[in-house]
Structure 1
């Protein structure tokens, strides 16, 4: 049972709490050790989840929650990016890389009591493959299309050809997944949270409830917006999603096949503003939060809070939608944008210690990073010259940026936007601000090519450069709005190259090609920090931002 907080922490909490109003409802527990609430861990999320079904999600705030509930065939060693068994104890592929065999753990139960079998694994993959209608919109099936291609019956010419061929279960504890061609996405893609395995009962119930709408007006299926249908195998199960208070409550699953979770209740509470999350932690209303502002780290640590820092595994970039404006299709204009931006100023003022200016679209910690890319130092005069030479001194841009969120690569979106806006205006560009709520407005608008320029980024799903480069540049995508067949062809060559060293060389070549073509401007990579109360035994922090909160407990 959890005991009272240490005296120093209680005094600090009381002092900070005076006159303080924090977003979200009051804490579900006191500082005392009352039996009902002493084993509840409350984490401050930066944004609302999009769905309780990870298969319909592509954002970190959703995956932070679903990662505790659903498990994938493969996962990563706690606190690292090293691939290891998840629901599969072991796995192998044929020499061609087109057949992947997974040997499942015995005795795994779903939250609704069903057993994990090879047939259930196949039901999940076949469900995703056979999606129709609105499910084929990338808002809902982004990761399926990114890792496995299209569907059994594609309904749009823009949907990629399917790479998934089928799944068979030769026995209860084996699943064999066949793909049409080898890919650098495998085996890492089998660890992506979107492919969390659901129970057969849940799959049957989901079939009765479809999404609707298109474009920016997608309506998620009802089953994904409330507890009761989805069912995984993880150490926690979903108890409630209280949207009015911005809280998702998870309860410990006592029949979990692995180590028992260290707390009985896990609450994720949405507190969009970083200052409010920090104040909530200091006041004792929450026990942890992510994406600590760099300026707050020293203060929190001095007051006894724990602020571990993750390894660098992300990229922040200025995206450019070329076909949204003819001027952006001209390379000198895109080069002008790159020279206009003072990216070092972003690193110095907005990122935690260890942040670096990005020279390309993969972080320096990933094999395939090239030392020979074209670089664009901050040079406002050169930017003005390029705009003048191209006849676009009067360039006007709609600049989209997200609100009500912070991201591992973007701790303060509005502040970063303001600095970049000032840089662009300094070289004569008119900037029209377009602030949008992160989920779903911003993610849908940028993905559908609805902005001239925008701020986005990526935290790697697994340790391969293709997870970065292939995410953006393997084919035409609305958010980038360009067609470069030479680049697409080289990406396709790298994807199926079986020799790792050769593939890494191709990645380096691709990075050099990209930075000459300049589809966007990579800005920075940063090591995001996460904060916990003094009385918490925190989980191992993950470079993938995939913390396992079953590892959390409270100090005696």
Structure 2
């Protein structure tokens, strides 16, 4: 039916945009051929189809040159809604919004569609043949999955999804603060942490059925070498030896007492060697791991996973997870919608829950910040200018003006117990004095940002204008790979941290990381020396002091400008259990279970 509906709507838009059901117009087949971009012969076939579908009445003109009479029999909005809903049921969310954008300028139609999506998203206990029930979680996000290749991962959402499909040798348990077994059931190391031996579990299978072996581990780690963003994870790996199918020995050329934590990284997720060597390009179209969920479909608009029934740590309670990848510009349309979901995307506005819903609210384990490009000439080379920029920004005013999930001024990478009591360091008069000390004469500052940070960048632009600083805001979808990043004076971005030191080290080591790329070579060299000290240190408290020392130097010398901490607010239906927020700010799907699936919708 829908090809006929599309042609009906096209004709209606071109000839009867203000017409409704029962309205008639006079038109020739030649005119319809121009509208539908086809021949007059095809127009006659299309007209017959529209008549058969009950969409129009057609009274052909008699004689050459006489106009025909076309009567519209269907209302536009119900047709649009039905079509958009059908596209959404098939996971084609972008196409649904494109349809509404193309054929309707009515805000009411879009609001009605969003209201319908409110019931479409959430939990559904779908009845299948044989009286079986499939527990499905369906929810929207407004950021695409950029990659599931562990060696290329840069964003927290990608990292979270990789952890659903793939496993690692070990995992970090945030509750106990310890590294726990995963693919490896046991391990040992020598006293100076340069030689590590891992013993793999029997019977762990990839989703295509083959058992995971030490050769897969060897292949995965070896693949990280070369010009890959996460090559730093294996930089000190001197030698790897497979001792049978279930033992691997890894020798480092320098001590690393947190090598286990390195292996917890999403980038260290184990890949099937056989499929990768067979056709790597094809593999990433439909990646296969050994994780709790296996990929079912992956399109521009939809990412769907099903539970791995043979998962070695126990099958997930959910049967199916459907992630609707919504167009980013539709986030504002859902500001009044009550998405019944278990995941909170910090790019969207807060939603209002039913009174009986449970709520989990926590601070994002990270911050937004500005990294100054000290590899480029410009005003930012002056410490006085960077300090002035810091003091002219009133974070509390930024929070009040922009609202949303912005919560507290940031004084460092992670929020602390003192964070709710920190005040903005704004001091306009001192900022003006420092600008004079810097000899600033009005040079333009080029600021790069992306996605959810654009509103903050515009606010900063307007604030700086009050002090005579012209800021030009540039936006990119992926600033990590932006060709023009080196020409920018600074970048406004966000960072999310895990539970240990490795996530911080990543910012100083990962190729393409904006913080690392903008540090002056002398500063970067000092940081790398400090990181080596961290790895050689056995005591966690001493490692923390060293890491805090790096952060303190970056802050005092204004290499970075810390901006805000954000909150995560997740609404949970009372029948839903097993919910916890990971360090990356997302729900661990494997642990979710429904007390009474039939009551959740």
TM-score of Structure 1 vs Structure 2, range by shorter chain: 0.7 to 0.9
Matched, 1:84 2:180: yes
Higher relative contact order (CA 8 A, sep 6+): 1
1:320 maps to 2:346? no
Aligned-pair CA distance for 1:525: 2.9
Residue 138 of structure 2 corresponds to residue 42 of structure 1: yes
Q: 1:216: which partner in 2? A: none
1:308 aligns with 2:395: no
Q: 2:494 aligns with which of 457, 476, 481?
A: 457
CA separation of 1:508/1:551 partners in 2, compared to 1, >3 Å: closer, same or farther?
closer
CA RMSD of aligned residues (A): 3.7
Q: Tell me the equivalent position of 1:242.
A: 299
3-state DSSP class of the match of 1:529? strand
1:51–1:469 Cα change, 3 Å: closer
Deviation of 1:351 after TM superposition, in Å, equals: 6.9
Give the structure 2 partner of residue 201 of structure 1: 274
CA–CA separation in structure 1 for the residues paired with 2:532 and 2:153: 25
* C-alpha displacement of 1:352: 7.4
Secondary structure (helix, strand or coil) at the match of 2:167 reads coil
> Match of 2:42?
none
1:509 counterpart (549, 554, 575): 549
SS at 1:204 equivalent: helix
Deviations 1:437-468 (A, max 9, x none): 2xxx323229953422221222223412x632
Q: CA deviation at 1:335?
A: 1.0
Partner-residue secondary structure (3-state), 1:526: strand
Alignment TM-score, normalising by the size of structure 2 = 0.71
1:52 to 148, 153, 164: 148
- Please give the alpha-carbon distance, in whole angstroms, between the structure 2 residues aligned to 1:389 and 1:425: 19
- The whole-number CA distance in structure 2 between the counterparts of 1:392 and 1:432 is 17
The equivalent position to 1:468 in structure 2, one of 504, 507, 519, is: 504
TM-superposed deviation, 1:29: 9.3
Equivalent in the alignment of 2:426: 378
Query: In 2, distance between residues paired with 1:336 and 1:552?
Result: 48
Q: Which residue of 2 aligns with 1:526?
A: 566
**How far is the alpha carbon of 1:303 from its aligned partner?**
4.5
Contact 1:24 1:269 in 2 (8 A): no
**Structure 1 position 382, deviation (Å):** 1.8
What is the CA-CA distance between 1:38 and the residue it aligns to? 4.9
Measured at CA, do residues 85 and 544 of structure 1 come closer, stay the same or move farther in structure 2, by a change above 3 Å?
A: farther
Specify which structure has the higher proportion of helix. Answer: 2
Corresponding residue number in structure 2 for 1:9 = none
What is the Cα deviation at residue 313 of structure 1? 2.3
How big is the shift at 1:318?
A: 0.9
The offset of 1:68, in angstroms, is: 0.9
Paired residue secondary structure (1:550) = helix
Residue 190 (structure 1) aligns with: 263
Residue 157 of structure 1 corresponds to none
Q: Is the 8 A contact 1:312 1:365 kept in 2?
A: no
Distance 1:38 1:389 in 2: 67
Q: CA deviation at 1:195?
A: 1.4
- What runs of 5+ residues in structure 1 fail to find an aligned partner? 1-14, 149-161, 210-220, 370-374, 404-411
2:239 is aligned with 1:166: yes
Cα contact 1:109–1:116 (8 A) shared by 2: yes
- Write the distance in 2 (CA, Å) between the matches of 1:49 and 1:27: 21
How much does 1:270 deviate? 1.2
Superposed CA deviations along residues 330-352 of structure 1, whole A, max 9, x for unmatched, are 21111111112112334556577
- Tell which deviates more after alignment, 186-195 or 446-455: 446-455
Deviation at 1:194, TM superposition (A): 1.6
Q: Does the Cα contact within 8 Å between 1:58 and 1:194 map onto a contact in 2?
A: no
Q: Flag the structure with larger Rg.
A: 2
Match of 2:171 in 1: 75
Q: How far does the alpha carbon of each residue in 1:229-287 deviate from its partner, in whole angstroms, 9 at most, with x for none?
A: x22111111111112xx1111122111112211122111211235445566653x6xx3
Matched with 1:142 is: 229
Q: Secondary structure at the match of 1:422?
A: helix
Q: CA deviation at 1:422?
A: 2.4
Cα 1:344–1:535 change in 2 (3 A) is: same
Structure 2 distance, partners of 1:461, 1:434, is 29
Partners of 1:451 and 1:399 in 2: CA distance: 6
Partner Cα separation in structure 1 for residue 466 and residue 371 of structure 2: 19
Q: Partner residue of 1:493?
A: 533
Instruction: Give me the TM-score of the superposition, normalised by structure 1.
Output: 0.76
- Given the alignment of the two structures, is residue 479 of structure 1 paired with residue 518 of structure 2, yes or no? yes
Cα pair distance change 1:237/1:537, threshold 3 Å: same
Structure 2 segments unaligned to the other structure (5+ residues): 1-107, 597-601
- Matching residue within 445, 453, 469 for 1:397: 445
